[in-house]
Chains A and B, each alone.
Chain A
Amino acid sequence: MRVLLATLLAVVPVWAFALEPGDQFPTSVQLSDEHGAKLNISKFQTPFILIDFWASWCGACAKAFPALNSLADSEKSTLSVVGVNVDGEKQDALDFLKEHRHSFPVIFDSRGELPDACAVDSMPTSILIKRSGEVVKVFKGFSDGDAALIRDLVKQVEIKAT
């Protein structure tokens, strides 16, 4: 009976819960960027960081790129945008990036360590965090109003902090 119970416990999947506002983002995970250099989320110096999980096969991820570019360009002083590519084959991502302009750094996580740690449950997912690593908001999927919402959130949190 003990063996049965032990086996039963072994097969029960380990449920990971998606990040929620107030949770801590795993900023210590180190991944390579397009040029092979190691990049750590905690190295960004802006008050806010937007981490976008995307894949080359995901249509909505491609739709989100112009909005991410706009955020990265217009909110430089307050917000850093980082793309985390989760393609199994890095070449697929590089081909995608040749066709889609991006004004933000992209890091590659073909083993899915970071989305696993964040329990990402849909594609694309964007996570807005403070520099301290505290999660402000998690955006599942992409909709046209997200960029404006992110701008408002950043302003609101900044106002509260002052």
Chain B
Amino acid sequence: MNKHVCILILLVLATACTPVKPWQKGNLARRDMAITTDPFESNLRDHIFDSKEAARGGRSVGGGGCGCN
């Protein structure tokens, strides 16, 4: 019985999870939401990453996930 109650509570809590729609990502697109807000530092980090990993991209998503900024 306790097991069922626990599952029930977890399921009810799961209802709070909701996907963020693409047009609701305005706040995520703000400059201060970037992992590194300083563009020079960001470029430097990217350059170091590219050199060390021989791979590029995928560090962060511009424009709050819309892939447009």
Contacts and interface: CB of A to CB of B under 8 A. Distances in A.
Interface of A: 3-4, 7-8, 10-11, 13, 53, 55-61, 86-88, 92, 112, 115-116, 120-125, 141-142
15 contacts: A3-B8, A4-B11, A13-B18, A57-B63, A57-B64, A57-B69, A58-B29, A58-B66, A58-B68, A59-B63, A112-B21, A112-B23, A120-B22, A123-B68, A124-B68
B26 A60 contact: no
Interface string B1-33: 000100110011011011101111110011000
B39 interface: no
Interface of B: 4, 7-8, 11-12, 14-15, 17-19, 21-26, 29-30, 62-64, 66-69
B19 A116 contact: no
A57 B29 contact: yes
The 9 nearest A-B residue pairs measured at CB: A60-B68, A86-B23, A123-B66, A59-B69, A57-B29, A7-B11, A57-B26, A11-B14, A123-B22
Contacts of B30: 57
Given A59-B68, A115-B21, A142-B68, 15 more contacts: A4-B4, A10-B11, A13-B19, A55-B23, A55-B26, A57-B64, A58-B63, A58-B66, A58-B68, A59-B62, A112-B24, A115-B22, A120-B23, A123-B22, A123-B63
A136 to B, nearest CB: 22
B12 A7 contact: yes
Nearest to A7: B11
B21 A122 contact: no
Contacts of B67: 60, 122, 141
Nearest to A87: B26
